[in-house]
Amino acid sequence: MIIFRKILIIFVAFLGIFALLIGILLTVFISQKPQEIKPHAVGLGKPREIRPHAVGSGNISIDYTSPIRKIDPIAIGMDVSGYGYPNVFANDQVEQQKLKTLGIKYMRMDLKYSTPGNPTSQIVCGGDGCDTRWTGDQWVQAIKAIGAQPLIIVSYSAVDAANMVKHFNKDTNNYIHYWIVGNEPDKAGISADTYSTNFNQDYDAMKAIDPTIKIGGGTTAWYDAAFLQTFLQQSGSRVDFVDFHGYAQEGNVTGDYTALFQIAAEYGNNINNLRSLIQQIVPARASQIGIEVGEWELNWAGTAQDTINFHALWAASVLGNILKAGGWSLFYADKGNANALYGNPQTFTDPYGHVVNIHPDDTDAAYHGIGMYTGEELFRGFGNTMVRASTPLPNVEVFASDNPKNIVVINKDQSVTQTATFSLNGVASGTIDVWRKDESVLFPNPPIKLATIPLENGTFSYQLPPFSVTTFVLNTAP
């Protein structure tokens, strides 16, 4: 009996130990099994499984659920200089094709009567030294031929301004929607009071001929806040859009890179400041008044830093800041010594010892800075909605669009490569085409396609070399 009890006790103990081991093993197994994520409905479609991802865990964050503003279809524009004889924009089909390829949608042209006050005299370009062989109609037709909207500068003569509207919009049916009064009055010593009086007279006379047109004013040589404030006080009840200009440096000596990039950011700040001024002075019309940077470029006189890749980065930074602030951009200009296109053959040696031979109508670096947004017909261009984008990375700027989705990233550092990890809110998967212009690409040459990479779980990573601008073209399911 004693022996039987001992055996029973041992057996029960064995069963207890066995049950304990089974419990431990089941606990470990269950804890290691992946948890199922239940699907949830997106819109009206069939529920699908969504893998969670931590938005904001990267060092570049793009929020496609947070639009900032719409981008106007004419927001990316360019000034026509009228220079480059004998091949100017009016007659140079190579130039016309290159600006069409760039995706320019808005072009400013200075026109005047060859005999002021005589509406039967020929309309010609108004810039000093421009090519007057071509009529105003030919300039306008060339602008329209590349798919752009013309913006015409008129003089301070109300009679001539009204007659020019009549010529294009009534007599010849060569309709022009956008007009602007004068050019850089502050630089010419014209006071804001006098300019505003001239503007009001021009405006009333022009609208009497065609009330459907839009007329801009201000046109200051820099962001001249005091001048523009007076102009808004006296002409804010009329003006349809306000214009100011800005150049970073004279260009006879090399500028400081950090300071120049700070100036690039100021274009956007100035637009925001001007919008606040408009809201303060004419609140009832504020939403109806547009803002454009009617001229911008790196240099207003010399050519310092034009013929290096930095010029492309700087142009991309300026354009991104203008678009983000909701302005219209008019790069100065189409053709010249070192504008979007070259007018004459030249030879340069870049900082790496490469000899670059330039021919007429070859592109400058800034052309491709703009092209990182438009795509230059190499890739799909920037979308029509700016979305929220941010990064803590030093010396890195990021601009992102929706409809369609593109991301433009500028590494402004001369020596540091940044590893960017992107975190996208509102986008989970797809592919990304990567295009870049950097120090490995000769300054007049277009960006190159580096790769097509996967977008998984709303994130991807890519390296940003020094002094580079990279466009990520997102291909995602609707």
35 in a domain, yes or no?
no
Let me know whether 349 and 422 are in one domain.
no
Mean pLDDT of 4-16: 41
Looking at residue 30, its pLDDT comes to 34
Let me know whether 290 and 411 are in one domain.
no
Let me know whether 429 and 318 are in one domain.
no
In this structure, of 40-54, 63-77, 144-158, the range with the lowest mean pLDDT score is: 40-54
CATH number, position 389: 2.60.40.1180
Looking at residue 10, its pLDDT comes to 40
CATH number, position 82: 3.20.20.80
Let me know whether 326 and 440 are in one domain.
no
The amino acid present at 186, given as its one-letter code, is D
- Split into its structural domains, the chain has a count of 2
**Closest C-alpha among 82, 88, 111 to residue 174:** 111
Domain of 119 in residue numbering reads as: 72-374
Inter-residue contact 100 to 146 (CB < 8 Å): yes
Let me know whether 88 and 235 are in one domain.
yes
Let me know whether 237 and 330 are in one domain.
yes
Q: Is 36 exposed, middle or buried (0-12, 13-18, 19+ CB in 10 A)?
A: exposed
Mean pLDDT of 424-442: 97
21 in a domain, yes or no?
no
Q: What are phi and psi of 213, to 5 degrees?
A: -80, 160
Name the domain boundary from 374, 398, 414: 374
Let me know whether 411 and 286 are in one domain.
no
Let me know whether 255 and 127 are in one domain.
yes
Q: Tens digit of pLDDT for each residue in 238-287?
A: 999 999 999 999 999 999 999 999 999 999 999 999 999 999 999 999 99
Instruction: Tell me the two tokens of residue 91.
Output: 């007659």
Let me know whether 319 and 405 are in one domain.
no
Instruction: Tell me the two tokens of residue 363.
Output: 């592109």
195 in a domain, yes or no?
yes
Q: Which residue has the higher pLDDT, 40 or 76?
A: 76
The amino acid present at 386, given as its one-letter code, is M
The pLDDT confidence band at residue 478, using thresholds 50, 70 and 90, is: low
Q: Tens digit of pLDDT for each residue in 189-224?
A: 999 999 999 999 999 999 999 999 999 999 999 999
The pLDDT confidence band at residue 452, using thresholds 50, 70 and 90, is: very high
Looking at residue 477, its pLDDT comes to 77
Let me know whether 418 and 326 are in one domain.
no
- Strands 123-125 and 106-113, by their bridges, are antiparallel
Name the pTM for this structure. Answer: 0.88
The answer on pLDDT for 387 being more than 60 is: yes
Mean predicted lDDT score pLDDT of the chain: 90
Looking at residue 44, its pLDDT comes to 27
Let me know whether 365 and 452 are in one domain.
no
Looking at residue 165, its pLDDT comes to 98
Looking at residue 11, its pLDDT comes to 43
Instruction: Quote the CA–CA distance of 351 and 8 in Å, as a whole number.
Output: 93
196 in a domain, yes or no?
yes
Mean pLDDT of 77-101: 97
